[in-house]
């Protein structure tokens, strides 16, 4: 049996449109409606027939919904929740896909104190954004982390879990604070490093930008992909997950200083040992089937 009959997606960009496409592919009986604050996105969503009905107001998109998923930047989630509060059907489950969870759970509970809330974070995405960037296979064999507040009925959590399983994801359940620390080091800090290094290279005076482009080796190219990620989304992530990111950044700076010292004093063994340890991390990611090179990773940009 399908976990939901009528799903509303608020925010029809990369993630919202990928969910819509995944629902069409894997749960064809589900009625889909959607809303986006940007009229151009609504037009594109209509042209692509992403959902059955693209509404011109959030309230109109919510009629008879039994699952409502907020797919907007983290900094907009609280305002959107407040905007839909009067129209959210009493028995609907409210979810989101935000990349950080503690601040989001707090904002959702404040705006919708009576609602059943099951926050989610699909750990899957690309550097692209907008309704045309989405694809149905985005969540295949990716983790989707649920962070239900204490007291959320288990049956509601299980329905949302089943929804994501049908989109191809594997489910983990975590406390919001723990989620934010884990993602600070595995996702948020890497993005900050990429934004920094690409900025550093483009600020160099003695190296021209055409040389940066011409001689960019694999590692730098990977950084430029990540540093092309959506500025609004990532501004919001860093402001919302401030404490955990600052803590991981502190640890990173200390480790970087150690490597800096090893280079200065010619401590080859220390460099070699560090690089050997990190190589093992890459190997275990590949053994677990989580590397991007696997054949079914259908990125929109390849």
Ligand X SMILES: O=C(O)C(=O)Cc1ccc(O)cc1
Whether 11 and 36 have beta carbons less than 8 Å apart is answered as: yes
- CA-based torsion, 187, 189, 195, 201: positive or negative: negative
Minimum Å distance from CB 17 to ligand NAI?
A: 8
Q: Which of 3, 6, 7, 15 binds ligand NAI (CB under 6 A)?
A: 15
φ/ψ of 124, rounded to 5, equals: -160, 135
Return the residue matching tokens 């009625």. Answer: 31
Q: Which is nearer to ligand NAI, 3 or 13 (CB)?
A: 13
DSSP 284: H
Minimum Å distance from CB 219 to ligand NAI?
A: 21
DSSP 205: S
Strand partners, 69: 9, 95
Q: Name the binder of 76 from ligand NAI, ligand X, none, CB < 5-8 A by kind.
A: ligand NAI
Q: Residue 66: name the closest of 117, 154, 5, 153 by CA.
A: 5
φ/ψ of 102, rounded to 5, equals: -60, -50
Q: Which of 14, 69, 123, 146 binds ligand X (CB under 6 A)?
A: 123
Minimum Å distance from CB 62 to ligand X?
A: 25
Minimum Å distance from CB 276 to ligand NAI?
A: 31
- Where in 212-271 is the site for ligand NAI (CB under 6 A)? 230, 233, 237
Q: Name the binder of 226 from ligand NAI, ligand X, none, CB < 5-8 A by kind.
A: ligand X
Q: Which is nearer to ligand X, 30 or 144 (CB)?
A: 144
Give residues in contact with ligand X (CB under 6 A).
Answer: 99, 123-127, 187, 226
């Amino acid at each position: 049996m399908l976990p939901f009959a009528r799903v509303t997606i608020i925010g029809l960009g990369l993630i919202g449109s990928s969910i819509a496409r995944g629902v069409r592919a894997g749960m064809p009986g589900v009625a889909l409606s959607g809303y986006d604050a940007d009229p151009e996105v609504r037009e594109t969503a209509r042209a692509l027939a992403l959902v059955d009905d693209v509404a011109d107001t959030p309230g109109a998109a919510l009629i008879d919904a039994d699952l409502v998923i907020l797919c907007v930047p983290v900094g907009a989630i609280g305002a959107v929740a407040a905007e839909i509060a009067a129209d959210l059907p009493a028995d609907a489950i409210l979810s989101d896909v935000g990349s950080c969870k503690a601040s989001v759970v707090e904002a959702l509970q404040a705006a919708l104190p009576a609602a059943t809330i099951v926050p989610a974070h699909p750990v899957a995405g690309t550097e692209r954004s907008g309704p045309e960037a989405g694809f149905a296979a985005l969540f295949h064999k990716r983790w989707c982390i649920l962070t239900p507040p204490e007291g959320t009925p288990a049956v509601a959590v299980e329905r949302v879990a089943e929804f994501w399983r049908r989109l191809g994801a594997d489910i983990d359940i975590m406390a919001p604070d723990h989620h934010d620390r884990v993602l600070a080091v595995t996702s948020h800090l890497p993005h900050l490093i990429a934004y920094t290094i690409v900025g550093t290279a483009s600020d160099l005076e003695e190296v021209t930008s055409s040389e940066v482009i011409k001689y960019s080796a694999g590692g730098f190219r990977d950084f430029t992909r990540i540093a092309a990620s959506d500025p609004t989304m990532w501004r919001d992530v860093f402001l919302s997950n401030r404490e955990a990111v600052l803590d991981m950044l502190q640890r990173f700076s200390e480790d970087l200083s150690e490597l800096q010292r090893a280079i200065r004093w010619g401590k080859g063994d220390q460099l070699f040992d560090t690089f050997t340890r990190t190589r093992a991390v890459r190997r275990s990611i590949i053994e677990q089937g989580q590397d991007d090179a696997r054949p079914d990773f259908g990125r929109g940009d390849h």
